[in-house]
Amino acid sequence: MAAGEAAVAIIMGSVSDWPTMRHAAEILDALGVTHEDLIVSAHRTPDRLTNFAKSARDDGYKVVIAGAGGAAHLPGMVAAMTPLPVLGVPVQSRTLSGLDSLLSIVQMPGGVPVGTLAIGEAGAKNAGLMAAGILALSDEALAGRLDAWRQAQTDAVLEQPPYEPS
Ligand code: RP5
């Protein structure tokens, strides 16, 4: 997707983050929200990070979802260089199960916000939903699709566990 066509940028520190971050992409697809998915590493591709973050608003993005694991500086560094809302997803790391990612992302200094979600798949999914919620504030059709998605989720909850015939 060319710059200017996607409402949401989903960026991640490594291709190894995609199995987590694809859950954000899937929610946005289900809600009809355009997104572009990019690998942008704070440590391995710092110039790519700077170029992305400094031009993100002019490129037409409205929300950035940033996922990273371990020493997860990506969401905070992007937030330092763009006024767009940045939603951070702590990716579950092998060594510390994502607690390192969570603390790296959530403990921003006052003045540079990153909206931090839960560790892993749930966080990525909720980042997609939150991005859609932000966009829905100025998009009635999307607000309707989001309401329908939530209603379907509610309708899918059983009132009782399914008993096995004995
Ligand atoms: C972080 O380091 C990435 O966000 C990823 O979660 C983690 C491991 O990256 P790889 O070594 O798998 O590329 O920068």
User: Which domains are assigned to the chain?
Assistant: 8-155 (3.40.50.1970)
Structure confidence at residue 5 (pLDDT): 87
Instruction: Please tell me the distance from the alpha carbon of residue 55 to that of residue 143, in angstroms, as a whole number.
Output: 27
Pairing mode of beta strands 63-69, 35-39: unpaired
Structure confidence at residue 3 (pLDDT): 55
Residue type, 140: E
Instruction: Establish whether this prediction's ipTM goes over 0.85.
Output: yes
Mean pLDDT over the full length of the chain? 96
pTM of the model: 0.96
Q: Ligand 1 centroid vs 13 CA: distance in angstroms?
A: 6
Structure confidence at residue 2 (pLDDT): 56
Sites in the chain below the pLDDT cut of 50? none
* Unique residue bearing structure tokens 């790296």: 104
Give residue ranges with CB within 6 A of ligand 1: 13-14, 16-17, 41, 43, 68-70, 91
Q: Whose CA is closest to atom 6 on ligand 1?
A: 69
| Contact status, residue 63 vs residue 135, Cβ threshold 8 Å | yes
